[in-house]
Structure 1
Amino acid sequence: MQAFAQLIDRLVYTRSRNGKLALIADYLRNTPDPDRGWALAGMTGDLDFPAVKISAVRKAAEQRVDPVLLKLSRDYVGDSAETIALIWPDGAETRDTAEISPLPLSEAVDQLMAVSRKEAPALVASMLDRLDANGRYALIKLATGAMRVGVSARLAKTAFAQAFDKNVDEVEELWHALSPPYASLFAWGEGKADKPDISGAAFFRPFMLAHPLEDEAVDMADYVAEWKWDGIRVQIVSTGSEVKLFSRGGDDITAAFPDIAENVSRPGVVDGELMVRGEDQGGDEHGGGAASFNALQQRLNRKKVSAKMLKESPAFVRLYDLLIEGEDDLRELSWTERRERLEAVMPQYDSERFDLSRLIDVSSFQELSELRDGTRDAAIEGVMLKRRDSPYVAGRKTGLWYKWKRDPLVADCVMMYAQRGSGKRSSFYSDYTFGCWTDDGELYPVGKAYSGFTDDELKWLDRFVRQNTVNRFGPVREVEKTLVLEVAFDSVHDSKRHKSGLAMRFPRISRIRRDKPADEADHIATLRNMVR
């Protein structure tokens, strides 16, 4: 556990991507199995301990530390794991030093997997007693699945490839077919065994991704255009006996969408956009029929879906690529050839659950630009441009696929509440709730944002919050309703969960309007006119 804790501590304070890669690669080369496999799974979110939640850790801490002091410290620090790791009494103060033995990472994982919810607080407490502050922090983050040390799954896989001189795309493909602690993967990496045989398994293949299209134009003779739908990217893998749905990050989301999985029988791998049917299920001029992302969001991250939800929010997938047909791997073929194969097999897919992404019929880039600018469908984010001769390759490759999002919507809103951030922002009020005016002169919250501003602007905003606080609700501060924030967002939707009846999609602060009086900010009615 000590080596893992040192790794986590160094990763937290290392900003350089290359620096993080070097740290992880060195750890993987020099740490024995199964600890390195469990560490890798923990850093990439592939470990889950159902009985251990942050509430169990807090309950354990309240038995050792005054609960009021713990709460006040948490509000100041901004992160529960860091607070408990620092405030927890050292083992030497509570137990005989001779009784305190090292805690191997593998032992911690085994015990956390086997513990019941009732026994979890006592187990966590006994483990924290055996560790120093860095070890406690690492353990809490590992146990609660909230690592957040600036290591994405892709970065970890790249570090593995770098550590053992392997191709990262090959590592990525194997990764999703194997389970922690990845003993066969490490054996292959070290040259002690052949490449793991994953044939016959329903596993994830890395997605092909697109570069943002900035100001440059492309020749439409070389590219095709499709609408960029506002759902979630999904890959459907069928072996004939097993069907799995994977999200963009490779997470298995099959349980949340049984209505899709049970309607796939043809062996193969397809790529598409997962959405929920809208009221206009017959489609429109864009090949639509999709509800807004807000409707889809109700079904995400669920382990079970009720019959009512299946009926009221039926899912479907808009297909736009075919990676594997039967046993034929098509990824090296051109987009044109894959599209022809996809169109040929579409009749074999249930038409209620699957349709084909339409191509946009334009003769010039200028015509496409005008069409994009004039489209404000709730389920459309912009357009995709795909080179006709492009193979399906993992990751982002320059010049093959582009995404061209429509310009964001903007509204002038008034800051209402603020809360400290987490991690590096735990000392700053960086999360802002903002609202718009009703016709009766009241402010109703319409969104929350924590991005879009510079470091200097963050310092200014933090100072504004501290100097203009009028009320406190635990970690939340209510501020004087005097500061106008220009908020950019992708779309706005009806929402029963919010007092305003509206919810913004991807809001971010685009400008601090110190020049604008708060009573001149936008009204709820203005936002409602943007709902599509």
Structure 2
Amino acid sequence: MDAFARLLDSLAFESSRNAKEALLVDYFARTPDPDRGYALAALTGTLDIRTAKPALLKALVAERTDPVLFALSYDFVGDLSETIALMWPAPAAPCGTVPGLSGVVEDLMRAGRGQAPRLIAGWLDALDESGRWALLKLVTGGLRVGVSARLAKTALARLGTVPVDEIEDVWNTLTPPYRSLFDWLEGRAGKPVTRDPAPFRPPMLAHPLDEERDLASLPAEDFLAEWKWDGIRVQAAAGRDGDQIRRRLYSRSGEDITGAFPDLIEDLTFDGAIDGELLVIRDGEVQPFSELQRRLNRKTADARLMQALPVGIRAYDLLMEEGEDLRPLPFATRRARLEALVRRLQSPRIDLSPLISMQAWEDLRQARTEPSAHLAPADAAAVEGVMLKRRASPYVPGRPKGEWFKWKRDPFLIDAVLMYAQRGHGKRSSYYSDYTFGVWRGSELVPVGKAYFGFTDEELLQIDRFVRTHTVGRFGPVREVARAPDRGLVLEIAFEGLNRSGRHKSGLAMRFPRISRLRWDKPPAEADRIETLEALLSATRA
């Protein structure tokens, strides 16, 4: 555990990406199996220790410390692992021993729920503050040390001569502690081979388009353009396993979500892999994202839900077909193969995301601004923007430069009044950084959304100071902020769209709200009214 604790401690205090990568390379090179494999799993979020959850840890520390003091400390620190590590009463003399990282993981994997508290308490007694913090981060799964899964895989690539994209290609076929992966990277074995007929393939991602810079330098004739839909990115894979066809639906991150969409799975009658957008499509019209949300995060779906919320895939790309890997081919070629496949399928649940006809960038700019000129009203309302894909681009995992671009529609803007504030977590635990804001309905303010980002550090200090000096009520950790037509703070809120919502007092829910700027220049009486949002919703659904 000592080496793992030192790694996490170093990563937490290192801001440079290159330096973090160097720390990971050094750790993977020096640490034997299976410890480094379990560390890799913890860093990439693939380690799931089911017997040790936050509730168990809170119960443990409650037995050793004053519960009120712990609650106050946790509220201030904002990080459960850090709070317990600092507050855990260390024995007067060293007590017990702690196995290596692999021993800790494997002991907890074998332990029942009744055994796990005893194991963890014994290890906490034997470790110092850094060791306790690393142990707790390990068992809860939330490391928060600034290492993405892609960065960890980039560090792995530096162990040998294997490109990171090849690691991505086999990643979802492997399981901790990744012995076969390290054997391949260090030249002791060949590339791991999967027998799964419908594996996940890592997705290709787009860069945000810089309109002024990119459109001036990119030739329009080199690109194809298509709509960017407001759903979730999925991959539909099917393959033959003997006489059977195995069918799977994956999220963008590779999570198997097949069980939640049995109605769609029935239509995966091809041998290949389609990249597309999962949408609720009723009578040929795309429904708002709020409809799709009702089917997300469910393990299963009953007949009534499937009938009320029928899902489908708007296909973007074809990655595999009849055992042939199409990813090295140009996008234009893959698109032609995709069109032919969708025609053959004749499935009501799998259709094509239409291309946008353009001769110059101005054509695309107009389509992005007014999708209703090209699409039916419901479909136009479900468009987030446009995608640009280089005709010659292969399908490469990650976010390669210069190949794909996303050009989202300009956000909607309203002026709303700050109503409530709550302290954040981690680095923001000392500041009121989570805000609820509202608009006027008659003489009453009704909440329409929450936001906790979009502002600078300097603006955070300004809002925090305002909250502390204008608090008129407290509800647990929440502060009610003074607001009246002549007294309060107006925030300009940017958001991507609106949906009806029975869970909100206003009846409306915003998509991705964030604070665009502080309107110190505007009195609350001049903030927007609910009628403005109702009109916006009607206009986008017209």
For normalisation by structure 2, the TM-score amounts to: 0.91
Q: Superposition pairs for residues 406-421 of structure 1, below 5 Å?
A: 406-421=409-424
Greater shift in the superposed pair: 235-244 or 32-41: 235-244
- What one-letter code is carried by the residue in structure 1 that aligns with 2:512? F
Report if the CA contact (8 A) 1:75-1:474 is conserved. no
Between the aligned partners of 1:471 and 1:108, the Cα distance in structure 2 is 46
Query: Quick one: structure 1 residues 504 and 459, their matched pair in 2 at CA, closer, same or farther if it must change by over 3 Å?
Result: same
Cα deviation, 1:156-177, whole Å, max 9, x if unaligned, reads 1111112334210011111111
1:263 maps to which residue? 267
Q: Report the Cα offset of residue 119 of structure 1.
A: 4.8
Whole-Å separation in 1 of the counterparts to 2:5 and 2:531: 52
For the Cα contact (< 8 Å) 2:96–2:122, is it kept in 1?
Answer: no
Aligned counterpart, 1:252: 256
* Amino acid across the alignment from 1:297: Q
Report the equivalent of 2:492: 486
Distance 2:429 2:50 in 1: 27
Displacement of 1:312 in angstroms is 2.1
- State whether residues 296 and 313 of structure 1, in contact with CA within 8 Å, keep that contact through their aligned partners in structure 2: yes
Q: Corresponding residue for 1:163?
A: 159
Deviation of 1:186 after TM superposition, in Å, equals: 0.6
Tell me how far 1:8 sits from its aligned partner. Answer: 1.3
Cα drift, residue 268 of structure 1: 0.9
| Equivalent position amino acid for 1:88 in 2 | W
Which residue of 114, 120, 125 maps to 1:124? 120
Going from structure 1 to structure 2, the CA distance change for 1:102 and 1:126 (only over 3 Å counts) comes to: closer
The superposition leaves residues 426-452 of structure 1 with CA deviations (integer Å, 9 ceiling, x where unpaired) of: 22222212111212x222221111111
Residue 520 of structure 2 corresponds to residue 520 of structure 1: no
Query: What is the identity, as a one-letter code, of the residue corresponding to 2:260?
Result: A
Distance 1:327 1:224, change over 3 A: same
Show the counterpart of 1:296: 292
Shift of 1:199: 4.8
Residue equivalent to 1:398: 401
Are 1:502 and 2:504 counterparts?
no
Deviations along 1:330-359, whole A, 9 cap, x unmatched?
Answer: 112222211111111113436232111111
Which residue in 2 is equivalent to 1:49?
Answer: 49
Partner of 1:453: 455
Counterpart code for 2:271: P
Q: Say if 1:437 and 1:112 are closer, same or farther in 2 by CA, change over 3 A.
A: farther
Partner residue in 2 for 1:113: 109
Aligned to 1:206: 202
1:111 partner amino acid: D
Matched, 1:470 2:472: yes
Aligned-residue offset at 1:73: 0.9
Q: Which amino acid aligns with 1:54?
A: P
1:529 to 515, 528, 535: 535
The residue that corresponds to 1:71 in the other structure is: 71
Q: Which amino acid is 2:527 matched to? A: A
Q: Which residue of 1 aligns with 2:38?
A: 38
**Aligned mates of 2:54, 2:345 — CA distance in 1:** 43
Q: Secondary structure at the match of 1:271?
A: strand
Q: Residue 393 of structure 1: SS of its match in structure 2?
A: coil
Aligned counterparts, 1:6-405, within 5 A: 6-90=6-90, 92-93=91-92, 97=94, 99-117=95-113, 119-215=115-211, 216-217=214-215, 218-240=218-240, 241-278=245-282, 281-282=283-284, 289-349=285-345, 351-375=347-371, 377-405=380-408
The alpha-carbon deviation at position 118 of structure 1 amounts to 5.1
> How many residues are matched?
519
3-state DSSP of counterpart to 1:395: coil
- Give the Cα–Cα distance (whole angstroms) in 2 for the partners of residues 389 and 176 of structure 1: 27
Indicate if the aligned counterparts of 1:421 and 1:428 stay in contact, CA closer than 8 A: yes
8 Å contact from structure 2 (residues 436, 449) kept in 1: yes
Root-mean-square deviation (CA, aligned residues, Å) is 2.0
**Identity score, percent:** 55
Q: Distance in 1 between matches of 2:498 and 2:16?
A: 36
Q: 1:182 to 1:71 in 2, by over 3 A?
A: same
Give distance in 2, aligned partners of 1:14 and 1:260.
45
Q: What code does the residue aligned with 2:18 have?
A: N
Residue 434 (structure 2) aligns with: 431
* CA deviation string 1:223-270 (max 9, x = no partner): 221110011111122222422222222232223323333331322111
* Amino acid paired to 2:48: D
Q: Which one of 432, 439, 442 corresponds to residue 444 of structure 2?
A: 442
Q: 1:471 to 1:156 in 2, by over 3 A?
A: same
Match of 2:517 among 511, 518, 524: 511
* 1:64-84 CA distance string (max 9 Å, x none): 111111111111112222211
Q: Is the 8 A contact 1:494 1:502 kept in 2?
A: yes
How far apart are residue 207 of structure 1 and its match?
1.6
Q: Which range moved further: 332-341 or 114-123?
A: 114-123
Give distance in 2, aligned partners of 1:494 and 1:370: 28
Aligned-pair CA distance for 1:460: 1.6
Offset, 1:297: 2.1
Note the alpha carbon deviations across 1:395-414, whole angstroms, 9 max, x for none: 23333222111100011111
| 1:26–1:163 CA contact under 8 A, matched in 2 | no
Paired with 1:505 and 1:243, the residues of 2 have a C-alpha distance of: 32
User: Which is further off, 412-421 or 244-253?
Assistant: 244-253
Q: Which moved more, 1:202-211 or 1:164-173?
A: 202-211
Give the SS at the match of 1:345. helix
Query: Could you tell me which residue of structure 1 aligns to residue 377 of structure 2?
Result: none
Question: Which deviates more, 70-79 or 393-402?
Answer: 393-402
- Match for 1:496: what amino acid? G
CA distance in 1 between partners of 2:261 and 2:119 (Å): 35
TM-score (norm 1): 0.93
Residue 286 (structure 1) aligns with:
none
Residues 75 and 429, structure 2, Cα contact 8 Å, conserved in 1: no
